Chains A and B, each alone.
Chain A
Amino acid sequence: MALLQIAEPGDSAAPHQHRLAVGIDLGTTNSLVATVRSGLAVALSDELGRPLLPSVVRYLADGRCEVGYEAQARQAVDPRNTIASVKRFMGRGLADIAHREALPYVFQDGCGMLRLHTAAGLKSPVEVSADILRTLRQRAEASLGGPLVGAVITVPAYFDDAQRQATKDAARVAGLPVLRLLNEPTAAAIAYGLDNAAEGVYAVYDLGGGTFDISILKLSRGIFEVLSTGGDSALGGDDFDQRIFCWILETAKLKPLSVEDASMLLTRAREAKEYLTFHGAAPVTARLNSGEVVDLTLTTETFAEITQTLVAKTIQPVKKALRDAGLSVSEVKGVVMVGGATRMPQVQRAVGEFFRQEPLNNLDPDKVVAIGAATQANLLAGNRAAGDDWLLLDVIPLSLGLETMGGLVEKIIPRNATIPTARAQEFTTFRDGQTALAVHVVQGERELVSDCRSLARFELRGIPPMVAGAARIRVTFQVDADGLLAVAAKEQTSGVEASIVVKPSYGLSDDEIAGMLKDSLAHVRDDALRRALKESQVEAQRLIEAVRSALKADGDLLAADEMARVENGIIRLQNATLGDNRRQIVLAMDDLEAETKDFAARRMDKSIRRAFAGRHISELDSEAAVATTGEVA
């Protein structure tokens, strides 16, 4: 059959001109991939139609890993090797992680960023995130039918340079070209703003699984200008689960738990939290390994009470962001709610009370970030359509500075500076004949270096000996559109230069990334085969279910011997799916399909006849309606 190629006027009919790009929301709890298809941003689902991918990776002893629902399902039985909420570890050392004693993982601290011991060996958070990104990349490529030109990956607005760099590195390890790192609240603002043709000042309140962001934006004539941003990169829905977990321990007076029991109760806590979104009280029941039974009821009132301080903790940065933007509550036209954790009624209430208006919830808080990112990715990939004349102007969340005498910070670029931005500052030597200068780059708002995050250290060497104060060393900070920093230092009188792209403080060198990339490629062929096998298994299962439901509905259309042959086919296919021989599965599917061909034709006949019968009735109805109208007229 010849297919007609249809093109909109002014549109190109050549399919290769549309460059495949995606937006990825790499979340603490769930991740998503979305793309713009026929002008509409949509989240891409897995083989089973599920758009969310739980951000959970389980490592197996043979070096392979499971990602998503599969891994999540094994969390309670294999907690040590099943890494959840890895986003909290990105660009972080062991000392940065709160409640780490309650986590089931075996950590190792190492040069800036922690590592995790798993059955598949030592894993850095970058590799774990890369495994999630790779799964999403494969989903997108399978769905869009080709390799991607790139992705926009979202990060919390309050992520610092180390966390951003770690995210970009994870994409590199996953073989995913990064078009841009985009702040999550800004992505949500794009989705909301373009959808509603919004104008004016908006606040985006984004409470995710493990991070909290607040951004204040001005929307005017297609320009999204971020005025200020704030947040807490270690506060999210997970903390609410933790509070319920502690409440269970206290109320049920439980003795110290095994890792498995703790993991199970944490899951019960999360389920209770989700249940309370739509109900006044949630049952919390569990049977522990020890045989002890937990049977409690958590009311919304108690839940609000035990999480009051967490909710209050989100309002502080909101006030600060407003002050940074030089605005008052009354000047905010709307508050967009983003992130699954904003579904909690007490969060909705607190935000509504603070802004003295109902928060906006008309976009799915789970998907809005990925949708915004996909829209931006489409534009960045060069698929700009007429009317796509919008632009984002974002800011850096935290001040960037240098260590000066006495362990003090000299701020070079203030927080909320619009990016890209650059700033230079001159320093000098303080000893006669000094030939080197140590440059220590830090990020944060505090005055003492020890209270800020150390981003990088480097040395400018080869300064010609001069008297103290004679050298003129110009240190330049450049922040690019991803919010990433590069620092250069130059002695002005001699021209001696040193520069660095900020990253080594958290400890992944280019060599290490190359190593991870090689490791992941070693599994690629294996991966592809496994993937094909899994796809066939899923497809086979779908066929079996379809035939079974057909038999149930119209089994009377088959003679006894025909019925026996179809049932035989089902059993053969069922057996094939238990093995790992993909060819056998495909052959068994072909057989079953052949066996049910006649059956399908008969069912089709039957349903067409049924449809005709139905149409006669509706046609009569509409004729009657016309007649009635005629009479009245």
Chain B
Amino acid sequence: MDFNADHFSLFELPRTFRLDAALLERRYLQMQLLVHPDRFASAGDAEQRLSLQWATRVNEGYQTLKKPLLRAKYLLRLAAHDLGSENVPADFLVEQMEWREAVEEARAAGQHHELEHLHHRLKRDIVERHEELALLLDDQHDLGQAADRVRRLMFLDKLLVEIDEAIAECEE
């Protein structure tokens, strides 16, 4: 194992967006069994430090590859493709504003069910966009378009967090 290898090499997985999640998890757990600090609790300082670094490294790699949005961003970074700061198209922004208004309305009225509904709708939308991203990254190798979709997904991810926070607020 090479400490400085990229995350895909670390887990011996192909450098693609589509990914065998079960295999990633299995390799992750196998690696933690080897490097985790609990395995070195009675070892010397140097070994303990190494174990901490390795376990941190393995966690970072796993978290990055496990989450589709982070994985896509990482693939773009590996391809040295700048995510860019171009604006997302206006129609997407209008759509975003509509979403936000709906969330805000439901939050203000304390409509727990409506928020749950919005959460599920958005989740479905995000999953569909992941499939589109797989086509762009793995099949068409269109990094420009992929970067655009990643930028949109970053908006949606944030929106999902906001919906979850609104739900938590309703429960209080």
> Which A residues have a C-beta under 8 Å from some C-beta of B?
19, 149, 179-180, 220-221, 223, 225, 316, 319-320, 323, 376, 379-382, 389, 391-393, 417-422, 478, 480-481
Contact = CB atoms under 8 A, between A and B. Distances in A.
Interface stretch (B36-44, B81-89, B124-132): B36-44
Contacts of A179: 41-42
Contact of A223 (B29, B56, B168): B29
Contact of A421 (B41, B56, B168): B56
A376 B39 CA distance: 11
Given A389-B33, A391-B33, A379 B38 contact: yes
Given A421-B60, A480-B37, A481-B37, A19 B42 contact: yes
Nearest to A419: B59
B96 interface: no
A308 to B, nearest CB: 16
B41 A380 contact: yes
B167 interface: yes
Contacts of A478: 52, 56
A593 to B, nearest CB: 44
B52 A420 contact: yes
B29 A381 contact: no
B9 interface: no
B20 interface: no
A481 B29 contact: no
B91 interface: no
A422 B56 contact: yes
A381 B167 contact: no
A374 to B, nearest CB: 14
B52 A480 contact: yes
The 9 closest A-B pairs by CB, nearest first: A380-B41, A481-B37, A382-B42, A420-B56, A422-B56, A418-B59, A420-B55, A316-B171, A223-B29
Interface of B (DSSP majority class): helix
B140 interface: no
Interface string B124-145: 0000000000000000000000
A149 B38 contact: no
Contacts of A417: 59, 63
Contacts of B167: 323
Contact of A391 (B38, B42, B59, B171): B38
B104 interface: no
Interface in B40-80: 41-42, 52, 55-56, 59-60, 62-63
Contacts of B39: 391
7 contacts: A223-B29, A391-B36, A391-B39, A419-B59, A420-B37, A422-B60, A481-B36
Contacts of B172: 316
A19 B43 CA distance: 13
